[in-house]
């Protein structure tokens, strides 16, 4: 029997998740059956179950993939770019969300997943973990800016990070509702609200 390569397995997993995205966006989580997913992916039940035991596992995998680039951007700012302004960081995050929404409609998928998380404790825990990771990284960024004097220090870094986190769901919701045009100036507005003032403090 020929050996199945990792590249082959990765390609099948990607094929399944792309099919799941299309089904979930078209019919919603609850109206999509495993049979629908088999048909949409063009794979057998055994091939799909080899990668995912349930729809819930697919939903979780999609949420993780949607957040991966955003988390990477925030962690990079926390670890490698302490002089990068908070406004520029948040604008970069929104730019990623907008680009991924154009490619895969992650805004629509995110809203569907949030709704599902209200009744799905496992998915809710997944969201909590991802959001906690982002909040922690943002807290590190804010703390560094407060330490360098480029951000006011009256409020706690945790509180500021939590406030910044509130921007993301609102942006995602409006993109999901088809309001992309009115959102075009939001990244630029964030850069203007929190400019990079590190150079002026040298």
Q: Is 136 exposed, middle or buried (0-12, 13-18, 19+ CB in 10 A)?
A: middle
Q: How much is the pTM? A: 0.80
Domains in the chain, ordered, with CATH?
1-53 (1.10.10.60), 55-196 (1.10.357.10)
Q: At what angle do helices 55-80 and 6-27 cross, to 10 degrees?
A: 110
Per-residue pLDDT of the chain (202 residues; tens, 9 = 90+): 456 799 999 999 999 999 999 999 999 988 999 999 999 999 999 999 999 999 888 988 888 887 777 777 777 766 655 567 888 888 888 988 898 888 888 899 889 888 888 988 888 888 888 889 889 888 988 888 888 887 888 899 999 999 999 999 999 999 999 888 889 999 999 989 887 654 444 4
Burial 137-164 (b: 16+ CB within 10 A, else e): bbbbbbbbbbeeebbeeeeebeebbeeb
């Amino acid at each position: 029997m020929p050996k199945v390569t990792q590249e082959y397995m990765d390609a099948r997993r990607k094929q399944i998740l792309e099919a799941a995205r299309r089904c979930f966006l078209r019919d919603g989580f609850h109206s999509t059956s495993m049979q629908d997913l088999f048909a949409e992916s063009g794979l057998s039940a055994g091939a799909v179950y080899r990668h995912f035991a349930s729809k819930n596992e697919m939903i979780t995998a999609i949420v993780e993939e949607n957040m991966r680039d955003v988390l990477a951007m925030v962690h990079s700012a926390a670890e490698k770019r302490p002089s990068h302004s908070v406004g520029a960081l948040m604008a970069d995050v929104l730019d990623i969300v907008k680009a991924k929404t154009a490619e895969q409609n992650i805004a629509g998928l995110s809203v569907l997943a949030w709704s599902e998380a209200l009744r799905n404790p496992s998915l809710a825990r997944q969201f909590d973990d991802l959001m906690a990771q982002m909040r922690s990284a943002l807290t590190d960024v804010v703390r560094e800016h407060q330490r360098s004097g480029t951000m006011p220090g009256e409020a706690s870094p945790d509180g500021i990070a939590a406030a910044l986190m509130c921007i993301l769901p609102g942006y995602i919701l409006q993109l999901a509702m088809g309001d992309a045009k009115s959102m075009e100036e939001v990244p630029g507005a964030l850069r203007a609200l929190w400019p990079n003032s590190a150079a002026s403090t040298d």
